[in-house]
Amino acid sequence: MSFDRDVTRTPFAFVHVEKSIGRGFPPKVIRHFEDGHPGMFTFAILGRPSVTNERWWNEHFRSALGPLRQGVADGTYLFEAGLVAGFSALAFADEDRFIAYFQEIVHRKLGTGSAPPPFEPPPPPPSASPPGETPYSVLGIAPTATDDEVKTAWKEQMKLNHPDRVSHMSPALQKFALEQTVAIQKAYEWIVSQRKRGG
């Protein structure tokens, strides 16, 4: 099996990177992209333990500008012609937002002027969190993380999700990016305040 061959077998490839492989891509996500663009997508899960050579990650996860500046984080990468064209740390459980985010990128890459407006899922009830979401899971860390790890995760998530990164995209994606950064900031502040109180 060749990673380079697999991600170029179709025009686009989704590669999900995680600490361990425990599941596949959600059927709803696969159906959405395969129905909309038949034969244009490959889907793969890559567990970190299967590749221990850091140089391999830098060689294979490259954008048109070269190696990824922030390194390879856990999340889903969209490859186009073997190069990283998009990334999201969204959890698979949030299927509608996952689809909306990547659909926008695909339509932009395909240059389809007749692309439908970005999919906008119905808003969750006020102050509702996705099932099982905690301030730690928002930052992608364990509750046992050190204070330095918490701060590093907060900075990385803010960089990845900052609204400036999607300022050229649709208002719906800009709004989503803003919501993400607000959630990330609140999670960070909650963790810091709990730790100061000794909680």
Q: What is the pLDDT of residue 163?
A: 75
3 state DSSP class of 85: strand
Q: What is the pLDDT of residue 32?
A: 92
Q: What is the pLDDT of residue 68?
A: 78
Q: What is the pLDDT of residue 89?
A: 83
The encoded tokens of residue 171 equal 């208002």
Q: What is the torsional sign of CA 129, 154, 73, 108?
A: positive
Domains and CATH numbers, the chain: 3-110 (3.40.30.10), 135-196 (1.10.287.110)
Q: Give the pLDDT confidence of 28-43 residue by residue, as tens digits.
A: 999 999 998 899 999 9
Q: What is the pLDDT of residue 122?
A: 42
Q: Which residues of the chain have pLDDT under 70?
A: 1, 22, 112-132, 166, 169, 199
Paired residues of 13 in beta bridges:
42, 79
Q: What is the pLDDT of residue 132?
A: 56
Contacts of 42 (CB under 8 A, 6+ apart): 6, 7, 9, 10, 12, 13, 14
